[in-house]
Chains A and B, each alone.
Chain A
């Protein structure tokens, strides 16, 4: 299996080796070794939780710089709807769209517009398909990776439809080529303006082995700072937004599901909550649900770690911006087919099914290893102090058995107070 490219990384110089991030990583991917954090690539789901909690700013997102677009003759921006919630004192989305043109983009296709189209296709999917219920949204890439690593049995619940980002890219390219027949496909650079590193990883790893349809993934933070210096109040925008309430709602948790007009839904946000919900679905404890929207970030994409604004403030701003918008602006859009779901937007390859850290392909051997881990774990203080560099005593026991880490990395287990060797 090819190595998964991550976009959450460590800045070793800044890492003090404190144990803060250990406890927040939902997949226990972090260990402190020789005074620095290390992230296990097989386990990392790029949720950005460690970036959020690191006091020393030693974890950062990797993304493409704006300059990466220079080589393209024609630059297309795909702004995630979260972008609109970043600006203070904004009363109209049109200013943001104009701002993107002003910083050098030649064309803007709003991801919120694609989101409205995805919403309509989701409604159709729920009506027609016999996917196992509840159907799980495919929009947040952290959730997709989490499901493939930790909840493989739920892979078949994931809606096999591209996310708004991808639909936006496909539609934008088609429209640009129609409007500018002189351009070749290689002239066009398509850039997603992302709220999170997870979208960067998703694109870089070319999910489902599809051709990459997005050329660059930019940081919302970086674009925001470029834009505020260019956005002038008072001047009327020349370019206007082409999405409505439904599209903008996707930036916040619950927006995607309320828009599908089916009240048997659940929307959860925050990675820990999401894990609990997936557990319940796997236990068959939520049998009446039709649709589940899961966002890794608190509050939804407004909580992404490449945003600027506080998620609650962004949510309030978006509510204000939505107020005078039409419900959708895509009901008669030419990008929307009359019925059914277009083939090219359906994902046929199932989510990769590889669970986290399965010890060996030989079950008998794995059982022996795990039994040994349980034995070692019994010798440890069970106070999860992190001094050994692992998030919990149990995780340390795993490292001792599987990675040959010395028991002495735990400074406490020999102290009489904690000694369990009796």
Chain B
């Protein structure tokens, strides 16, 4: 039977300075587990983008990660404002990020496109006023 390591993170929406910590933790674990640098890189970029989005667009949320030998699955779920036009949000360069966040280098509108690019399966469900759920799968 394939072993599964399950990790759960509360991603704090009030503390912008700690955004990215959950993906850093996952990255550290994947490295210890001996995944290839390429896999580690794909997971950490994709999860980082999703985590940052929860913080800057949705006021925080939760991340659940399942690590197994042949794939890593990341589910990011929030109860933020949701996304009105998913197709638009998925296009490169589209961003509604505030200027304050932009000045820190976020909000280039490449987050969702990169999540798609670095994963083998990408799924985004969102309902305005309810929240957003992003599911990322990376095969090793």
Enumerate chain A interface residues (CB-CB to B < 8 A): 150, 152-153, 279, 282-285, 353, 355-361, 363-368, 370-371, 374
Which of A152, A284, A365, A370 lies in contact with B29, CB distance below 8 A?
Answer: A370
A285-B27 Cα distance, complex, nearest whole Å? 15
Which of B27, B32, B105 lies in contact with A282, CB distance below 8 A?
Answer: B27
B1-30 CB mask vs A (1 if < 8 Å, else 0) is 011111100000000000010011001010
CB contacts (< 8 Å) of B23 on chain A: these are 283
12 residue pairs from A and B, CB less than 8 Å apart:
A150-B31, A282-B40, A282-B41, A283-B23, A283-B44, A284-B45, A353-B37, A356-B31, A357-B32, A366-B32, A366-B33, A374-B5
Known: A153-B41, A355-B34, A358-B33. A285 touches B4 (CB 8 A): no
Contact A359 B32 (CB under 8 A): yes
**Taking the nearest CB of chain A, how far is it from the CB of B66, in angstroms?**
10
CB contacts (< 8 Å) of B33 on chain A: these are 358-359, 363, 366-367, 370
Contact A364 B3 (CB under 8 A): yes
Which of A282, A353, A357, A371 lies in contact with B3, CB distance below 8 A?
Answer: A371
Max chain A C-beta neighbours (<10 A), residue from B34, B40, B41, B105: B34
Contact B32 A355 (CB under 8 A): yes
B55-74 CB mask vs A (1 if < 8 Å, else 0) is 00000000000011100000
- For the complex of A and B, list the 10 residue pairs with the smallest distance between their C-beta atoms, beginning with the closest: A153-B37, A358-B34, A367-B3, A368-B3, A371-B5, A363-B69, A366-B33, A367-B5, A364-B69, A364-B3
**How many B residues touch A, CB cutoff 8 Å?**
28
Which of A282, A360, A371 lies in contact with B4, CB distance below 8 A?
Answer: A371
A364-B2 Cα distance, complex, nearest whole Å? 6
Which of B7, B48, B68 lies in contact with A374, CB distance below 8 A?
Answer: B7
Known: A364-B69, A367-B67, A367-B68. A282 touches B34 (CB 8 A): no
A368-B44 Cα distance, complex, nearest whole Å? 21
A150-B24 Cα distance, complex, nearest whole Å? 12
Smallest Cβ-Cβ distance to A361: which chain B residue: B34
Q: Is chain A's interface secondary structure helix, strand, loop, or mixed overall?
A: helix
Contact A363 B44 (CB under 8 A): no
CB contacts (< 8 Å) of A355 on chain B: these are 31-32, 34
Which of B24, B31, B34, B40 lies in contact with A363, CB distance below 8 A?
Answer: B34
CB contacts (< 8 Å) of A152 on chain B: these are 31, 37
Enumerate chain B interface residues (CB-CB to A < 8 A): 2-7, 20, 23-24, 27, 29, 31-35, 37-38, 40-41, 44-45, 48, 67-69, 105, 140
CB contacts (< 8 Å) of B105 on chain A: these are 285
Which of A283, A356, A358, A361 lies in contact with B48, CB distance below 8 A?
Answer: A283
CB contacts (< 8 Å) of A364 on chain B: these are 2-3, 69
A361-B32 Cα distance, complex, nearest whole Å? 11
CB contacts (< 8 Å) of B44 on chain A: these are 282-283
Contact B38 A153 (CB under 8 A): yes
**Taking the nearest CB of chain B, how far is it from the CB of A351, in angstroms?**
12
A366-B2 Cα distance, complex, nearest whole Å? 11
Contact A370 B34 (CB under 8 A): no
**Taking the nearest CB of chain B, how far is it from the CB of A308, in angstroms?**
37
CB contacts (< 8 Å) of A370 on chain B: these are 5, 29, 32-33, 67
CB contacts (< 8 Å) of B41 on chain A: these are 153, 282, 284
Q: A152-B37, A284-B45 are in contact. List 9 more A-B contacts (CB 8 A).
A: A153-B40, A285-B48, A285-B105, A358-B32, A363-B34, A367-B69, A370-B29, A370-B32, A374-B7
CB contacts (< 8 Å) of B48 on chain A: these are 283, 285
CB contacts (< 8 Å) of B45 on chain A: these are 283-284
CB contacts (< 8 Å) of A367 on chain B: these are 3-5, 33, 67-69
**Taking the nearest CB of chain B, how far is it from the CB of A66, in angstroms?**
42
CB contacts (< 8 Å) of B68 on chain A: these are 367
CB contacts (< 8 Å) of B37 on chain A: these are 152-153, 353
Smallest Cβ-Cβ distance to A155: which chain B residue: B37
A282-B43 Cα distance, complex, nearest whole Å? 11
Smallest Cβ-Cβ distance to B40: which chain A residue: A153
A150-B48 Cα distance, complex, nearest whole Å? 18
A355-B68 Cα distance, complex, nearest whole Å? 19
Smallest Cβ-Cβ distance to B44: which chain A residue: A283
CB contacts (< 8 Å) of A359 on chain B: these are 32-34
A365-B33 Cα distance, complex, nearest whole Å? 9
